[in-house]
Chain A
Amino acid sequence: AQSVSQHNHHVILSEAASLELGCNYSYGGTVNLFWYVQYPGQHLQLLLKYFSGDPLVKGIKGFEAEFIKSKFSFNLRKPSVQWSDTAEYFCAVNTGANNLFFGTGTRLTVIP
């Protein structure tokens, strides 16, 4: 069965620090990849997505992610985090069927 791993459960950073959140998946075929964010008290919203083409994708609020097919990874990055980035981040993988598999989430706390 497909699985999505987010190894960082809770990350604490100071403002202006750089961020990288890991996401690995287990599926050998074609995938569509997503990062969703859930701000405190809000519902999930899309940060960015990868379907095909340039493996470096840019999303909202300065986030980007790189798809490395050989490593089955789709890590999320941001050069300089802000306090307002405090949220929970979910990686999700779609394998072409009507199923979207989510990782367990990474809670990011940014200290002003």
Chain B
Amino acid sequence: NAGVTQTPKFQVLKTGQSMTLQCAQDMNHEYMSWYRQDPGMGLRLIHYSVGAGITDQGEVPNGYNVSRSTTEDFPLRLLSAAPSQTSVYFCASSPTGGSSYEQYFGPGTRLTVT
């Protein structure tokens, strides 16, 4: 199993550009989530999904959209990038039961917005 994969590894955007961060898992996990990691702030939940077709907001959802058309994929869209979105983004998945269970994290995407 590849586990949780994320692409790209690095990305530089200009303010106002849009882009999609890809996340896929091959463990048939129902629960998937996106976090951002900022220095001194730990990881904060952006959006999560408890299954295909179901998404919900986390702690810091503004400026981001998600969709979950399949169990495997959970892309994160930045609608109009801002310098405040410069961060490292982690995707995670978990078996049915949501965040009560161990989260399996992807390798992360380092995003810089200039």
Instruction: Give residues of chain A (24-46) contacting chain B, Cβ–Cβ below 8 Å.
Output: 32, 34, 36, 42-46
Instruction: Give residues of chain A (8-59) contacting chain B, Cβ–Cβ below 8 Å.
Output: 9, 32, 34, 36, 42-46, 49, 51
Q: Are B42 and A34 closer than 8 Å at their CB atoms? A: no
| Surface stretch bound by A, among B14-22, B43-51, B70-78 | B43-51
| Residues of B close to A34: CB separation below 8 A | 102-103
Task: Using known A-B contacts A44-B90, A94-B99, determine if residue A99 contacts B45 with beta carbons closer than 8 Å.
Answer: yes
Shortest Cβ distance from residue A28 to the other chain B in the assembled complex, whole angstroms: 18
- Asked if A67 is at the interface (CB within 8 A of a chain B CB), the reply is no
Cβ-neighbour of A43 out of B31, B90, B98, B99 (below 8 A):
B90
Q: Are B45 and A100 closer than 8 Å at their CB atoms? A: yes
Instruction: Give residues of chain A (45-92) contacting chain B, Cβ–Cβ below 8 Å.
Output: 45-46, 49, 51, 90, 92
Shortest Cβ distance from residue A83 to the other chain B in the assembled complex, whole angstroms: 23
| Residues of A close to B103: CB separation below 8 A | 34, 36, 44, 46, 100
Shortest Cβ distance from residue A74 to the other chain B in the assembled complex, whole angstroms: 15
| Residues of A close to B92: CB separation below 8 A | 44
Instruction: Give residues of chain B (50-107) contacting chain A, Cβ–Cβ below 8 Å.
Output: 50, 56, 58-59, 90, 92, 98-100, 102-103, 105-107
| Residues of A close to B107: CB separation below 8 A | 42-43
Once bound together, how far apart are the Cα atoms of A8 and B82, in whole Å?
Answer: 31
Task: Using known A-B contacts A43-B106, A43-B107, A44-B105, determine if residue A102 contacts B44 with beta carbons closer than 8 Å.
Answer: yes
Q: Are B40 and A98 closer than 8 Å at their CB atoms? A: no
Once bound together, how far apart are the Cα atoms of A9 and B18, in whole Å?
Answer: 34
Besides A43-B105, A94-B100, A102-B42, 8 new A-B residue pairs in contact (Cβ under 8 A), listed by A number: A43-B106, A43-B108, A49-B102, A90-B43, A98-B98, A100-B103, A102-B44, A104-B42
